[in-house]
Amino acid sequence: MGGRKDYLTKDFFILMTPAFILLFIFIVYPILNTFYLSFFKWDGFTPPQFVGLQNYEKMFDYELFRTSIKNNVFLFITFLPLVTLLGLAFSILLHNKEVVGRNVLRGIVMLGMVMPLTVVGIVWMLLLDPRSGIINKIIELLGGSPRAWIQDPSTAIYFVLLGSLWAWLGFSTTVFLAGLEGIDKEILEAAIIDGANPWQKFRYVLLPLLKPALIVVVTMSSIYILKVFDLIFVLSAESPPLYLSVLAYLVYYEAFFRYRWGFAAAVATFLTVAVFVFSIGMLKRMIQERRVE
């Protein structure tokens, strides 16, 4: 057995070496290089100047950074429960073969997932256009006045939320639907025989069995919304709306508009650490759940 184990280990590393090399080139090295760059002041043209922790000190005093954090937090605490609950609700509807129009509903839910995020952003930009957008046309028909929704700081972030929900709802629905498909029907039938009503069947039978799917949805949805960029980038095609800034957009803005590459690297490092810490926490939770099972 020992020789076989050594043989398998050797084969494993031989087969995985190309993947490890690509992982280092395209993921590990850029992260390390970004972290290294965060200690320098660099405009992309002149030689980098070492400034130590100054970029990090300035970052926490920077008003736009605080705005980005505020927007990220708002999107996180609203998007996460909504995409989870809606995904769970739609998965239960789609799992029920007696629901009328199930295939149409499936197509609507999945449409946002199969479309690139840039296309989702363009769709929303067309819908919200102040002059020709469908939403403003409907408002005019109802006797209201059209508005520049994206240009209005009081409403813009809500449409980023709606666009993100539409783009990600298909994923959460698919994961929950896969979880439902894996549940033994005999368990549900036993609950009905024991006199469980629909709420009790959901609360005490379905929900515990869907916990692995729930953790996957929460983890992946959190990572997505923490680093959301595409929608905001497309919606701000004409000019950067700083009131819509999130951390990922702030990295782009500081690097390509203000040419503060070192500062942008510091923000990117902060975002990477935040996502990494959250991901590790959720991964530990998943491992603990598996051990309990």
Within a domain: residue 178?
Answer: yes
Three-state DSSP at 227 gives coil
Q: What is the pLDDT of residue 83?
A: 95
Which CATH number fits the domain that encloses residue 141?
1.10.3720.10
Q: What is the pLDDT of residue 225?
A: 92
Mean model confidence pLDDT for the chain:
86
Within a domain: residue 194?
Answer: yes
pLDDT class for 280, splitting at 50, 70, 90? confident
Average pLDDT over residues 256-279: 92
The most confident of 68-72, 233-237, 238-242, by mean pLDDT: 68-72
Which candidate, 107, 86, 95, 115, places its Cα nearest to that of 230? 115
Per mean pLDDT, which range of 39-43, 81-85, 152-156, 262-266 is the poorest? 152-156
- Residue 253's alpha-carbon distances to 34, 36, 45, in angstroms, are 16, 20, 17
Q: What is the pLDDT of residue 289?
A: 66
pLDDT class for 1, splitting at 50, 70, 90? very low
174, 113 in Cβ contact below 8 A?
Answer: yes
Higher pLDDT pick, 166 / 241: 166
Helical packing angle, 261-292 and 29-37, nearest 10°: 130
DSSP-derived pairing of the beta strands 49-50 and 40-41:
antiparallel
Within a domain: residue 23?
Answer: no
d(CA 172, CA 220): 9
Residue type, 27: I
Which candidate, 92, 97, 228, 114, places its Cα nearest to that of 173? 92
d(CA 78, CA 285): 22
Give residue 149's domain range.
48-292
d(CA 244, CA 250): 10
Q: 147 phi and psi, to 5 degrees?
A: -130, 155
Higher pLDDT pick, 293 / 57: 57
Residue 154 has pLDDT above 70, yes or no: yes
pLDDT class for 239, splitting at 50, 70, 90? low
Number of domains in the chain: 1
pLDDT class for 152, splitting at 50, 70, 90? confident
Share of the chain above pLDDT 70, in %: 94
Within a domain: residue 13?
Answer: no
Within a domain: residue 7?
Answer: no
Higher pLDDT pick, 71 / 290: 71
Total H helices, total E strands in the chain: 15, 2
d(CA 229, CA 245): 9
pLDDT class for 238, splitting at 50, 70, 90? low
